[in-house]
Amino acid sequence: MSEKDCILTTKDHTILEVMLERCLGRDDPMAILLTTKLGAARVVFGEDIPANVATLNSRVTFSVDGREPDTRVISHERMQSPVGLFLPLTSMRGLALIGLSEGQPLRFAGQDGVQETVVLESVLYQPEAARREKHALARTTPPPENRPVLTLIRGGVQSPCRPPSAGSGGLDDPGPPAA
Query: What are the DSSP calls for the chain, one per residue?
Result: --SS-EEEEHHHHHHHHHHHHT-S-TTSHHHHHHHHHHHHEEEE-GGGS-TTB--TT-EEEEEETT---EEEEEESS---SSTTTEEETTSHHHHHHTTPBTT-EEEEE-TTS-EEEEEEEEEEE-HHHHHHHHHHHHHHSPPPP---SS---TTTTTS---PPPEETTEES---GGG-
Cβ proximity of 106 and 3 under 8 Å: yes
d(CA 51, CA 161): 58
- Residue 63 clears pLDDT 60, i.e. is over it: yes
Round the average pLDDT of the chain to a whole number and report it.
84
Q: What is the pTM of this model?
A: 0.74
pLDDT tens for 9-29 read 999 999 999 999 988 777 788
- Just give the CATH number of 6-134: 3.10.50.30
Can you give the residue ranges of every domain in the chain?
6-134
Q: For 127-159, how does the pLDDT look when each residue is reduced to its tens digit (9 = 90+)? A: 999 999 888 887 776 656 666 566 555 655 555
23 within 8 A of 92, measured Cβ to Cβ: no
Contact in structure between 100 and 43 (CB atoms under 8 Å): no
Looking at residue 84, its pLDDT comes to 79
> Is residue 77 very low, low, confident or very high in pLDDT (cuts 50, 70, 90)?
confident
Greatest pairwise CA separation for the chain in angstroms? 96
pLDDT classification of 103: cutoffs 50, 70, 90: very high
- What is the model's pLDDT at position 50? 97
